[in-house]
Amino acid sequence: MTKTDTRISRPWSRVGDLFLYGLGQLRTIKKIYPGIMHLLIFWGVIIQVIGTAIKILQMGLFFPYSWPVFSQNVYLGFELVLDLAGVAILLGVLMAIIRRWIIKPRFMENSWDDIYALFLLALIPTVGFITEGFRLYSLQPSWANWSPIGNFTASIISNFSISPGTADLIHPYLFWGHVSLGLIFAASIPFTKLRHMIFTPVHIFLKSDRPTGELAAIEDIMEAEILGAGAINEFSSLDLLSFDACLQCGRCEEVCPATISGMSYSPRSLLLMLREDMAGSLLTPENGSDKTINKDLLKEGFLWSCTTCGHCLDVCPAFIRPPEQVIDIRRAQVLMTGEVPQTVGETLRNFERQGNPWGMPAPDRISWAEGIDVRVLSPGDAVDVLFYVGCAGAYDDRNKKVTRSFIEILNKLKIDYGILGDAEICCGETSRRMGNEYLFQVAAEENISLLSGYQFNKIVTLCPHGLNTIKNEYPRFGGSFQVLHASEFLAEIFSDLNLNLDNGKDFGRLTFHDSCYLGRYNNIYTQPRELLQNANLIPLEMKSAKEESFCCGGGGGAMWLETDADTRINHQRLQHALDINADTITTACPYCLIMFDDALRSKGLTDQIQVYDLVEILNQYLD
């Protein structure tokens, strides 16, 4: 294990999460049908288990540990609640059967333990109702209506030629049969998918409290012998717990852009393969079993398909973070075995040699600024805003235009700003997501030391990846800065400006694409839209927008990978824009701009749709 997470911090907030997301199932219920289905089964089982335990304690079998017998009114309520809990389980099981065998969602698989669990869940309350029916028929109490289903079963039994005396003789056998089924259920938990009943709440309680945009660091990387996870026992204990906590619900798979685009990768398959590896190796160490992870996980089309878009970890009811396991395996591949796709190797070599993934020399970092008025800071200089340009904004030809537009805005608004010029270095985000934690940590430390040599109030960046890295990942290495995305920074200023609305060109039907690292990881959804609205541009929403946004396909190092033309995520996302007949796609991330540009070119649609960064559009409205 090479990384650690603080798991005992904020104990009361963890207890709160356990109530809200474990017992209250707040995330599960977000999907109505499976949410209600799961809630019925979950609470039905909990109430039945507690009720049966109370009944056994009331029998005084474990004296002196016995439960006081209820007063009659409480007892009647108790009977009613137990009956309703049994009905809830049966309803939930019926909904599960309809979903699995009639609705059949695309990702749904029926393994033996799904069937086994549903069978047991249906059998136990059914036997419970029959048992109760025999009891009520033999006792014929005046309160029988308080156990409506038991009473109904008793009325059915009365139609057979069974006397109350015979029913009284049969009842204990049924009762102990019912208890035995309950024990079989309990004994099955560790060996079937029922295990999530224990592991999911435990994982919710212990889940990492790192921001979702921050990856766990490899501690003491220079001394560490294990880098990443090349074997199952090299995952952290929290990761191992997450493999068992996975409900196999497939919600991650349903939203994963890689899976949707037809790649062989799926976060649920990842979790299941790792769970199989764990069961096959950790549980039988005496056999000297192989702890290396499943070779299928290491295939280029699998391991390198995750764009780290974060959609899966937003929807997972168990709060599992599949991209973190992907990065752990990538770390082992990059730092231990060196078995990486050719383009990953080239990108990382570029970083090693030139300090940026583009492989461009440092002096070229400022070439975009030729001919425009921009203040390059010297160490010790003081400004209000330090504009961190970032590698894409400095080296990519299309994004250089965006950088120039932003400088023009800053100049027009007379902002007290400066840039680092060719002293600026890469934030290290790409190398970290590609698994080279060492290069990232070196870059982070150099950057923090560099930035600390200047005086500024805030850093502003056009790149959400740079924003996320400096804001969420640098504090772990001692760098705490106020960092804003350009859209956040401009939103504060633009609402007070009189824009010249006659200046802008006709953008036609305009839509805005949410970058994953801007929206999902940093919750910046409203500011870009507000800025467009200030310019009288009301963005049309694509089918996946805001929290539901679909990745452009460029994050997590994926921009540098060769992908099959049939499974390109950026083609899928472009299709969403085509579906609403958009004439203009607006982005607020250099990677998204590159990915849309690429998709438009390869589809031959550059005459049909135009793609601009937000600041290019806004710049047109400023005199």
In the complex, the smallest distance separating the C-beta of residue 260 from ligand SF4, rounded to whole angstroms, is: 9
Of residues 32, 14, 1, the one with CA closest to residue 239:
1
List, in sequence order, the alpha helices (H) in 535-588.
Answer: 569-579
Q: Which residues between 209 and 248 bind ligand SF4 (CB under 6 A)? A: 246-248
- Return the number of the residue (267 or 357) whose C-beta is nearest ligand SF4: 267
Tokens representing 575 are 């299709």
Residue 251 interacts with ligand SF4 (CB under 6 A)? yes
- Give CB contacts under 8 A, 24+ apart, made by 367-371: 367/394, 367/400, 368/393, 368/394, 368/400, 368/403, 368/404, 369/403, 369/404, 369/407, 369/419, 369/421
Contact with ligand SF4 (CB under 6 A): which of 93, 117, 252, 377? 252
Residue 250 interacts with ligand SF4 (CB under 6 A)? yes
- Return the number of the residue (304 or 417) whose C-beta is nearest ligand SF4: 304
Tokens representing 491 are 């939103």
- Return the number of the residue (41 or 315) whose C-beta is nearest ligand SF4: 315
- Return the number of the residue (196 or 471) whose C-beta is nearest ligand SF4: 196
- Rounded to the nearest angstrom, the gap between the alpha carbon of residue 457 and the centroid of all alpha carbons in its chain is 32
- Return the number of the residue (356 or 544) whose C-beta is nearest ligand SF4: 544
Q: Which residues neighbour 554 within 8 Å (Cβ) at sequence distance 6 or greater?
A: 307, 570, 591, 592, 594, 595
Q: Which residues between 292 and 311 bind ligand SF4 (CB under 6 A)? A: 306-311
Provide φ and ψ at 461, rounded to 5°.
-135, 150
Phi-psi category of 553—alpha, beta or left, where left has phi over 0 and alpha has psi -120 to 50? left
- Rounded to the nearest angstrom, the gap between the alpha carbon of residue 480 and the centroid of all alpha carbons in its chain is 25
- Return the number of the residue (255 or 483) whose C-beta is nearest ligand SF4: 255
At 127, which amino acid appears? Answer: V
In the complex, the smallest distance separating the C-beta of residue 555 from ligand SF4, rounded to whole angstroms, is: 8
Phi-psi category of 378—alpha, beta or left, where left has phi over 0 and alpha has psi -120 to 50? beta
In the complex, the smallest distance separating the C-beta of residue 162 from ligand SF4, rounded to whole angstroms, is: 47
Tell me the C-alpha distance between 312 and 253, whole Å: 7
Residue 194 interacts with ligand SF4 (CB under 6 A)? no
610 secondary structure, DSSP code: E
In the shown chain, the binding pattern of residues 158 to 187 toward ligand SF4, with x for contact by CB under 6 A and - for none, equals ------------------------------
Q: Is 584 helix (H, G, I), strand (E, B) or coil?
A: strand
- Return the number of the residue (230 or 267) whose C-beta is nearest ligand SF4: 267
- Return the number of the residue (404 or 433) whose C-beta is nearest ligand SF4: 433
- Rounded to the nearest angstrom, the gap between the alpha carbon of residue 207 and the centroid of all alpha carbons in its chain is 13
In the complex, the smallest distance separating the C-beta of residue 134 from ligand SF4, rounded to whole angstroms, is: 40
Tell me the C-alpha distance between 38 and 407, whole Å: 53
- Return the number of the residue (154 or 258) whose C-beta is nearest ligand SF4: 258
Contact with ligand SF4 (CB under 6 A): which of 312, 439, 537, 611? 312
In the complex, the smallest distance separating the C-beta of residue 259 from ligand SF4, rounded to whole angstroms, is: 7
In the complex, the smallest distance separating the C-beta of residue 468 from ligand SF4, rounded to whole angstroms, is: 13
Q: How far is CA 167 from CA 108, 161, 182, 240, 586, in A?
A: 43, 10, 22, 50, 74
Q: Which residues between 318 and 347 bind ligand SF4 (CB under 6 A)? A: 318, 320, 322-323
In the complex, the smallest distance separating the C-beta of residue 303 from ligand SF4, rounded to whole angstroms, is: 11
Residue 464 interacts with ligand SF4 (CB under 6 A)? no
Tell me the C-alpha distance between 96 and 91, whole Å: 9
- Interface size with ligand SF4, residues (CB under 6 A): 28
Q: Which residues between 268 and 287 bind ligand SF4 (CB under 6 A)? A: 268, 271
In the complex, the smallest distance separating the C-beta of residue 272 from ligand SF4, rounded to whole angstroms, is: 8
Stretch that binds ligand SF4, among 26-34, 39-47, 263-271, 465-473 (CB under 6 A): 263-271
Residue 4 interacts with ligand SF4 (CB under 6 A)? no
- Return the number of the residue (306 or 524) whose C-beta is nearest ligand SF4: 306
- In the block, tokens 């970092």 appear at 365
Contact 227, 437 (CB under 8 A): yes
Tokens representing 375 are 């203040």
Residue 539 interacts with ligand SF4 (CB under 6 A)? no
Of residues 379, 371, 373, 370, the one with CA closest to residue 414:
373
Q: Based on C-alpha coordinates, what's the Rg of the chain? A: 30
Contact with ligand SF4 (CB under 6 A): which of 95, 118, 256, 386? 256
Cis, peptide link before residue 64, omega less than 30° from 0 = yes
CB atoms within 10 A of CB 620: 16
In the complex, the smallest distance separating the C-beta of residue 284 from ligand SF4, rounded to whole angstroms, is: 24
Stretch that binds ligand SF4, among 135-143, 147-155, 218-226, 254-262 (CB under 6 A): 254-262
Contact 588, 485 (CB under 8 A): yes
In the complex, the smallest distance separating the C-beta of residue 300 from ligand SF4, rounded to whole angstroms, is: 15
Stretch that binds ligand SF4, among 292-300, 313-321, 412-420, 475-483 (CB under 6 A): 313-321
424 secondary structure, DSSP code: -
Contact 195, 202 (CB under 8 A): no
- Return the number of the residue (242 or 403) whose C-beta is nearest ligand SF4: 242
Contact 100, 108 (CB under 8 A): yes
- Return the number of the residue (258 or 585) whose C-beta is nearest ligand SF4: 258
Q: Is 345 helix (H, G, I), strand (E, B) or coil?
A: helix
Residue 257 interacts with ligand SF4 (CB under 6 A)? yes
Sheet holding 510-512, edge to edge: 510-512, 584-587, 610-613
- Return the number of the residue (256 or 459) whose C-beta is nearest ligand SF4: 256
Residue 267 interacts with ligand SF4 (CB under 6 A)? yes
In the complex, the smallest distance separating the C-beta of residue 291 from ligand SF4, rounded to whole angstroms, is: 22
Residue 518 interacts with ligand SF4 (CB under 6 A)? no
In the complex, the smallest distance separating the C-beta of residue 27 from ligand SF4, rounded to whole angstroms, is: 9
In the complex, the smallest distance separating the C-beta of residue 469 from ligand SF4, rounded to whole angstroms, is: 16
Chain residues binding ligand SF4 by CB under 6 A are 246-252, 255-258, 267-268, 271, 306-312, 315-318, 320, 322-323
